Structure 1
Amino acid sequence: MSAPFTADLTGRTALITGASSGIGHAIADLYLRNGATVVGVHRRAVTGHASGYVPVIADLGEPAQVRAAAEEVLRQHRVDILVNNAGLNIRHPFEDFPGEDWDRVQQLNIRAVMELTQLIGRPMLERGAGVVINLASMLSFTGGFTASAYAASKGAIAQLTKSVANEWAPKGVRVNAIAPGFIATEMNVALVADKTRNRQILERIPAGRWGTAQDIAGAALFLASDAARFVHGTVLPVDGGYLAR
């Protein structure tokens, strides 16, 4: 078995949204193990992180709290890496999709990402250095079913990533995204438990297994590291080959 990828993030501070569980928690842990200070933004208290973890409690689904959280972080930290991980999926058949649920998904999945990237990104631009990593999705590429709001928001994330990368790459700030495949996290508990859907999903994944949060964290560490210094505007699938099938 090959050694895991490592990167020296000593002296760098990463702001990670949705770091209380799942993918965000795994990214935070891996960054901490590689020397970073991690500021995690989440709605509830979290335990289990190593020293160097700084929690900020905020609900990014509430517009006023997005700016307040960013201002609180910037008062105390120079943020070198921003990971926009927090996300929400609410399912309805499209013809019955309530407007209020649609707006909730867009607020957290795209509006909060846009605002945090602006607020945290401006000091990066002034310094001429920084990294932004957005969490896209398989539904940035495919439509899915009963997930129109989520698919719309994640399609927007992919295009936002490319557009901002075009503007910010010449100024020293790298902007990229990760598109997780089927990952065994809290969001997908029902799919894992559904024997029929689970079988159908595994048949479509050449690697023959669900991904783990650690699989995504490894990609996030690479994109944050100097090894990715010439990577700009990519939407990186980490999907076990799902899209290639």
Structure 2
Amino acid sequence: MQAGREVYTRLRTLLGGTPRDHLRANAVANYRMWNAISDCMAEQGWDYHVMPYVVGGRLTRPGPPGDLTAWAEPSDDFGIAEMAALAASEGFIADGRVHPLGNEGLSAADEAGWIAAMNGGCSSAGTAMTDGTYPTGVTQTIGADFTALLTDIQSTPRAQSLIGEWASCMDDHGFDVHTKHGGYDGTELWPGFRLDTEGREIAGARADAACRRPLHEHVLADGAEALAAFEADRAEEIAAAAEEWRGLRAEADEVLAANR
């Protein structure tokens, strides 16, 4: 199992990035959008201030490729503490200060003009700048093939049986993994899914970790040989994907440094 865990973790990181990469990519996308809006508004004579990026709510660790049940790493809190620490280390937390947007103190007529400029094209100009923070060339090629391999490993009769056992075990703990919850488009307890109440979320995470660990450890062991073969056969593409992530990290460094 350990061999499978090592190659899976390595492939997932090289092809899909790290939790910090995902956190920073969200910040970069927002800063690009806000700066494009600011430039557009300035061209029309209006102020639009770029505010510090802060994370919203409690973040969970990025899910596995394809959000496949068997491949999410069991965690006692869905990785919330880990992501909170990463957000704090990047400065992506609220500082308690009020940051003006640019439309404060305007007359009614000027505020109407400001809103018209925003709705007249500046907001869409910002949206157009959010692409490019993830390596789509990777996710649509070798990343898709990696997900397909993980799906095949999870689709064996034994793995499917263990998925059923996980669901039954969760039901024994009072969690229905098939029922929609709270209006969200997701099951009540998908690995990494946030609930309305923190106490139930933590209880669910601990139940999920205990119930799903046999499934997760099974696919790691059962898929070790196939994962190793994939890594060997696609070595050049994996190296290219890793290089693309390095380039995106360098770009993120520049964007974040310019907006700190």
Is TM (by shorter chain) over 0.5? no
Normalising by structure 1, what TM-score? 0.25
Higher radius of gyration, 1 or 2:
2
Instruction: Give the TM-score, by structure 2 length.
Output: 0.24
* Greater relative contact order (Cα < 8 A, sep 6+): 2
Which of the two has greater strand per residue? 1
